[in-house]
């Protein structure tokens, strides 16, 4: 996934634990053994081997808090207290259990208006340099991340904490200023910083950003800018497999930076890259049926949507127009153009979020119905001219559509939408942008129609996108009713009221239609058949969070 996407992910603030890529294998892929389920093992995992990975973006820094990319490399090196598994459920990593209300890990304070989270840390964990990992490191991480002098991209959650107590070396008590159901999606999950190496250092310019020291299964041996990162096995890694054998299985991992997806495809075919995470749908299509290559797909919490620019003066403030546009879009065509991988959706709360999703019609955006769209536009006085395009009172019905340039899947989707809107008589022209220019347009609302995507955490927070003051709401959409529903949803930690509030959120969004939810993304990885135990991860913590259990079968003659 290109740089900026990752950037949006990290940005998508409070609770974005994006990139859902879990389970079901796509085509040709046989059922993979999910490490947590007791799947029958054909052969015992083998120690050794080098895994070569192709990454599509240039790495800026290897510090999980300051990078603007997804931390693929970092996930193999740095660990947090918790991590989302392949089903986007939190599992303990450096903590011994996931804090919940039931196990007493979450305690409500100040008469139920605030909370305290207690983590018990895993004993005997060592940093890559051999020093002990303790509660002081956890506290240091919070102090460092919230320090305004530290210029970081991901400071999510650091402002919600008022203080941290460390009664002993293995206990951390985090005091929150309010109820924060999404606490697990933020800082202590991203990663813990080593206090003994960083205290008193200027983390903006520290060597840590090139060679981070963590507790994870691999340590950084070499980082060549613009080329590759070499990771070697951490021989003292704390985790063991079910048979008691040491982890990780792999000896070495090399991340190669390959910005061109065509080149990446060639490298995969040539066997020079054995794993490529999050490949574009177009590349997946090309690699289908390639010898010795397996495509693994998993669900994602990401979804693609068409946003309306609703700033004052915009024609799109007319609900009739928005509804007609929504009815004109055939999601099946979008799915087909994406190689059949994604799923059509009609609500921003994706079906994968089982505890929140509601499939009832009044909570879903309009389905494909171009006849209804045409009738509604006729009735509203948008008359077709001789060229087939509509206008009203002499003003032509025309809009710009924007998406991130250079991103092939997005540009293809944009073309389809342009064709479909032309079919109902709306003239559409593309105005694509890249990098900061795209961000500017997106967050300042300088667009008519925006074809883009969001990814949430497994504890999703939607107020950032659709709240009247949502930091990522560049559309200019504001609804007091929705704000109230979002507030109820995002401050309740009990399942039932949370679900009811989520239903209201879905219903109001389907009614107001500030954006048309289109497809639920899937995450597709291309890998050699020799790589076993690989699972995709649906969150922003990337597939590499499970790397300790991956192993390579030895190659036979002629197989990459």
Partner 1 sequence: MSPQFLLRRLVGMVPLLLGISLVLFMIIHLAPGGPLDAYVDNPSVTPEALAQIKVAYGLDQPLPVQYLKWIKSMAQGVWGYSIRSGRPVTQEIAERLPATLLLGGTALVLSMALALPIGVVTAALRRSAWDHALTFLSFAGISIPVFWLALMMQLLFAISLGWLPVAGYETIGAAGLLDRLAHLAMPAVVLSLATVAAWSRFLRASMVDALGQDYIRTAYAKGHSPAGVLIKHALRNALLPVVTVVSMEMASIISGAVITETVFAWPGIGRLFVESMDGRDYPVLMGLMMMGSAALVVSNLAADVVYALIDPRIRYD
**C-alpha count within 13 angstroms, C-beta hemisphere, residue 400:** 12
CA distance 340 to 134: 47
Mask for 100-139, x = binds partner 1 (CB under 8 A): ----------------------------------------
Tell me how far, at minimum, the Cβ of 56 lies from partner 1, in Å.
11
Question: Quick check: 268 and 260 in contact, CB under 8 A?
Answer: no
* Residues 224-283, interacting with partner 1 (CB under 8 A): 224-228, 230, 254, 256-260, 262-263, 266-267, 269-270, 272
Mask for 13-52, x = binds partner 1 (CB under 8 A): xx--------------------------------------
DSSP string, 146-178: H-TTS--S--TTTTTEEEEEEEETTEEEEEESS
Q: Is 55 an interacting residue with respect to partner 1 (CB under 8 A)?
A: no
Tell me how far, at minimum, the Cβ of 263 lies from partner 1, in Å.
5
CA distance 336 to 171: 51
**Sheet containing 390-392: order of strands:** 383-384, 390-392, 395-396
Tell me how far, at minimum, the Cβ of 443 lies from partner 1, in Å.
5
- Scanning 121-129, 132-140, 149-157, 295-303 for contacts with partner 1 by CB under 8 A, the matching segment is 149-157
- Return the residue of 137, 153, 420, 490 that touches partner 1, per CB under 8 A: 153
Q: Is 400 an interacting residue with respect to partner 1 (CB under 8 A)?
A: no
Q: Which residues 6+ apart lie within 8 Å of 361 measured at CB?
A: none
CA distance 105 to 176: 13
Tell me how far, at minimum, the Cβ of 248 lies from partner 1, in Å.
19
Q: Is 199 an interacting residue with respect to partner 1 (CB under 8 A)?
A: no
- Return the residue of 28, 39, 108, 151 that touches partner 1, per CB under 8 A: 151
CA distance 197 to 459: 32
SS3 344: strand
Give the nearer residue to partner 1 in terms of CB position, either 130 or 558.
558
CA dihedral 505, 507, 513, 519 (to 10 degrees): 80
Tell me how far, at minimum, the Cβ of 292 lies from partner 1, in Å.
14
> What's phi and psi for 185, nearest 5 deg?
-90, 5
CA Rg value for the chain:
24
CA distance 117 to 185: 13
Give the nearer residue to partner 1 in terms of CB position, either 252 or 499.
252
Give the nearer residue to partner 1 in terms of CB position, either 159 or 375.
159
- Scanning 10-18, 193-201, 276-284, 321-329 for contacts with partner 1 by CB under 8 A, the matching segment is 10-18
Q: Is 53 an interacting residue with respect to partner 1 (CB under 8 A)?
A: no
Give the nearer residue to partner 1 in terms of CB position, either 405 or 511.
405
- Return the residue of 107, 166, 209, 398 that touches partner 1, per CB under 8 A: 209
Burial class from Cβ neighbours inside 10 Å (0-12, 13-18, 19+) for residue 367 reads middle
CA distance 356 to 498: 8
Give the nearer residue to partner 1 in terms of CB position, either 68 or 352.
68
Q: Is 412 an interacting residue with respect to partner 1 (CB under 8 A)?
A: no
CA-based nearest residue to 183, from 103, 99, 113, 109? 99
CA distance 332 to 324: 17
Tell me how far, at minimum, the Cβ of 296 lies from partner 1, in Å.
22
DSSP string, 416-432: HHHHHHHHTT-EEEE--
Mask for 413-452, x = binds partner 1 (CB under 8 A): ---------------------xxxx-xx--x---------
- Partner residues linked to 52 by β-bridges: 254
Binding region for partner 1 (CB under 8 A): 3-4, 7, 11, 13-14, 58, 60-61, 66, 68, 148-149, 151, 153-159, 204-205, 209-210, 224-228, 230, 254, 256-260, 262-263, 266-267, 269-270, 272, 434-437, 439-440, 443, 464, 471-472
């Amino acid at each position: 996934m290109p740089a900026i996407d990752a950037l949006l992910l990290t940005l998508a603030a409070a609770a974005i634990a994006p990139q859902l890529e879990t389970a079901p294998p796509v085509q040709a892929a046989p059922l993979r053994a999910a490490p947590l389920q007791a799947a029958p093992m054909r052969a015992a995992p083998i120690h050794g081997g080098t895994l070569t990975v192709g990454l599509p973006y240039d790495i800026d820094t290897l510090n999980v808090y300051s990078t603007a990319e997804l931390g693929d490399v970092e996930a193999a090196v740095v660990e947090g207290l918790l991590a989302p598994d392949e089903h986007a459920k939190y599992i303990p990593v450096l903590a011994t259990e996931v804090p919940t209300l039931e196990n007493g890990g979450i305690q409500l304070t100040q008469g139920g208006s605030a909370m305290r989270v207690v983590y018990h840390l895993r004993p005997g964990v060592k940093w890559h340099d051999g020093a002990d990992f303790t509660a002081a490191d956890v506290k240091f991480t919070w102090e460092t991340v919230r320090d305004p002098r530290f210029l970081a991209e991901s400071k999510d959650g650091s402002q919600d904490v008022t203080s941290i107590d460390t009664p002993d070396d293995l206990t951390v008590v985090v005091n929150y200023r309010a109820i924060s159901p999404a606490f697990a999606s933020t800082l202590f999950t991203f990663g813990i910083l080593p206090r003994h190496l960083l205290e008193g250092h200027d983390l903006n310019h520290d060597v840590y950003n090139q060679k981070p020291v963590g507790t994870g299964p691999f340590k950084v041996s070499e980082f060549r800018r613009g080329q590759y990162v070499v990771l070697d096995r951490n021989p003292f890694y704390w985790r063991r497999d079910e048979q008691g054998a040491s982890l990780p299985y792999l000896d070495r991992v090399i991340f190669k930076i390959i910005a061109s997806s065509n080149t990446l495809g060639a490298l995969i075919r040539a066997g020079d890259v054995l794993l490529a995470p999050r490949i574009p749908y177009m590349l997946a299509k090309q690699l289908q049926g390639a010898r010795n290559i397996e495509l693994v797909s998993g669900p994602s919490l990401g979804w693609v949507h068409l946003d309306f620019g609703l700033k004052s003066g915009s024609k799109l403030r007319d609900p009739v127009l928005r509804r007609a546009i929504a009815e004109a879009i055939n999601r099946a065509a979008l799915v087909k153009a994406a190689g059949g991988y994604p799923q059509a959706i009609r609500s921003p709360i994706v079906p994968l979020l089982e505890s929140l999703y509601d499939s009832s019609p009044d909570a879903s955006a309009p389905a494909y119905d171009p006849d209804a769209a045409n009738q509604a536009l006729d009735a509203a006085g948008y008359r077709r001219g001789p060229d087939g395009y509509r206008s009203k009172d002499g003003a032509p019905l025309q809009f710009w559509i924007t998406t991130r340039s250079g991103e092939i899947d997005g540009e293809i989707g944009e073309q389809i939408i342009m064709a479909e809107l032309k079919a109902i008589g709306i003239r559409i022209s593309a105005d694509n942008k890249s990098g900061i220019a795209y961000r500017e347009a997106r967050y300042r609302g300088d667009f008519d129609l925006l074809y883009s995507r969001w990814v949430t955490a497994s504890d999703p927070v939607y107020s950032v996108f659709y709240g009247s003051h949502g930091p990522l709401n560049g559309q200019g959409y504001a609804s007091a009713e929705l704000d109230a529903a979002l507030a109820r949803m995002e401050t309740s930690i009990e399942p039932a009221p949370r679900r009811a509030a989520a239903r209201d959120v879905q219903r109001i969004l389907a009614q107001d239609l500030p954006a048309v939810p289109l497809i639920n993304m899937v995450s597709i990885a291309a890998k050699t058949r020799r790589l076993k135990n690989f699972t995709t991860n649906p969150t922003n913590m990337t597939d590499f969070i499970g790397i300790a259990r991956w192993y390579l079968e030895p190659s036979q003659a002629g197989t990459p």
